[in-house]
Structure 1
Amino acid sequence: MTELFQVLSLHSDIEKLSRYRAVLSPDFSMYLEMAPVMQLYNVFRNRWCGAYWASKGIRVVPTVNWGDDSTFDFCFEGIEKGSVVAVSTYMASEHDNRCDQKEWFMAGYNELLRRIEPARIICYNTPFPEMQGNIIYVDHERSSWKYMNYERSFQKDDLEAFKIGGAYQKPCDTIEPYLIGKGGGSAYGGEIKPAKPEDE
């Protein structure tokens, strides 16, 4: 009975995902403190889900995540050169005292540019000014599940179908959030660095 439920649930998930023009492969965590075997396993799970969804006729954009430079030998594997990819600055940005992790993020991001040479980069959360490439910004605030609607259908054949407005002024596209995760950097964050002097 459990197997039947899992098959029915999987079929339902595929049906829901197939209503979108494209989906991102899951962003399984690659925390710096993780054992290397867990980091490797999470890269495997990311690529497996993407490959499985693609085998069901779903257009998949691979989400790329990394740990420190010791993960560079496997975290970019299985992604075609010149692909559209997705990344997240969420765990390297200033939320939860993690603003000290930008250097870690940029080292992996620059390696991604060198190894994959992506055609476009979907960036969940505000891109850093130093980020190079053809970036499509995804507004973190609008990525809440409360905005999800599985009944939508998109008629256009390109990313224009997902464009939204926003206050962010970097000269790059924006894309509506859909099936985006997050997880990288240190799970513990960094030193507390108040955003305003009055918060000290």
Structure 2
Amino acid sequence: MNSPSFTWREAWAKSAFRGRLVAVLGLLLTLAALLPRFFAFVQARPGRLLPDPLLAWLPAHNVSVPAFVVIYLGIGLGVVTLVPRPLRLLRTLWAYWLLHLLRCCTLFLLPLEPPTGLLILRDPLVERFFYAAPEPITKDLFFSGHTATLLLLTLAVPPGWRRGALAVATLLIGCLVLVQHAHYTYDVLAAVPLTLLAYWLAGQISRPARPAAHLQT
């Protein structure tokens, strides 16, 4: 079993770590406060319907229950793994914020209509806390946030069975949102390079908090 090589006591003793942790938590709280209005704006404006040969061939089925079982089990595994590893957790928090920032940019620049045959993917937690709209949000499309979140956790956890399990979960959720016709194929594919970009940028931001002598395994 992988164990953290840098404890919370050691990390918290460093002002660089404390500053970056407080900063990213503040940014995440600010983002959470702004997202409901942003998603309401995204839902209200007209967008473009894209051709998608894969979705045209793939029959739509409601797979909401297995999709959210995979999502929340994956998130739970990632959180349990990262909490005892403060440096990995710090980088993941920065990457998560950057990922949402990138997603807000792509959603703003690329207004889309939902794919043909869409079946609503209902997430009670997200709808309650982040979506301020009377109807379900269906236009938060490019890129797939569910796929990106699980891929981010796959990158963030240490090598081993947890990373393998999260990689399988990422692939599975990418397939399930397509079966649901909740995303275009392009949304799922674009999640990969944009998540890699967010994770790399987060590494640059958090690097001063990770002295070479204390790199985690």
Q: Same fold (TM over 0.5)?
A: no
TM-score by length of 2: 0.28
Structure with the larger helix share: 2
